[in-house]
Structure 1
Amino acid sequence: METDSCTFYFEDANANRKKLFAKALLHAKDGKVLYILAEELNELPVLSQDLSSINKHYMKMVTFMYVKSLDSLIESISALQDWQSIPSTIILDDLSAYCNKNDLQNACGIVALLQDSTKCCSNLLKGTCRLFISVPKGIVGEDYCNMLKELYC
């Protein structure tokens, strides 16, 4: 049985967000989804599917967590195993928001912590926990994206 998985999205920020939001709604059918952002959304991404046709119960399964700083992100992720409602999907929208440009060391630390949290959630759920991370390609560069894929996928 697969216990966890990690997928990166390396497109522009808007394309990444559309894909992540679609993943959030898709995986909300399987359990709680934690969607982490650096800033509050002003509007939901435009999807190929009309939001009015999506079961409102699935939207309730998605928890948006707005985390502005790296320290707050680390603190929030570290406390996941103490939550009453453990997520079966964790989404980080824009890894670069928590790293200096091309700062692979910070990025690797964040991804490693997210993967550890995903494994912990998988163990607590006795099932699969998925991790989706977006990194705007134009901000960090293709070499950086390829290195993250090699290290964590």
Structure 2
Amino acid sequence: MSLVFRFLRVCALVIVSTVAAVAAPDPVKRPTGTSKPSSRKVAASHKVTRSLAPVRPAVVMPTSEATPVDYPVTLRGGVKGRNGMPLAGATIWISGTTKQVTVTNAAGNFNIVLPDAGPIGLSCGYGGYKQQSMFLQAPSQQQDVFFTLQALDGRRKH
């Protein structure tokens, strides 16, 4: 314990002496265009000094467990019919916008770009099926999103 205390004390002295050396007072400054003063009183009146700010220990704040996410983020997902068959050509969009729209591929999978970190509504539609929507509170933490659509007339399609 004594060794640790000595080490910390030496570190503190090094820091304080470094700060003192960096913030040393400026040399005597004389107004431009005047001759050298003849007495010590006059020279002392032109001296500029700085006071040192007290050294305070650094405070380290804990960070959250979540890693920061750079936006835009691409969200993956899939669309299937009630019988589990993939629906190719289904449309997925972010509610309230016409710019974030995508269509599923032949395997029923899609990728959609999320504009920001805020909660979003995600909707899915396909001809002959009921439109489905979901709300994602933290979309950047979502791995995959899946929609299972139900036929409008109750019959099984695809």
Please confirm whether the aligned pair reaches a TM-score higher than 0.5, indicating the same fold: no
Instruction: Choose between structure 1 and 2: higher helix proportion.
Output: 1
Task: Please indicate the TM-score interval, normalised by the length of the shorter structure.
Answer: under 0.3
Q: Under a length normalisation based on structure 1, what TM-score does the superposition of the two structures give?
A: 0.22
Instruction: Choose between structure 1 and 2: higher strand proportion.
Output: 2
Name the structure, 1 or 2, with higher relative contact order (CA <8 Å, separation 6+): 1
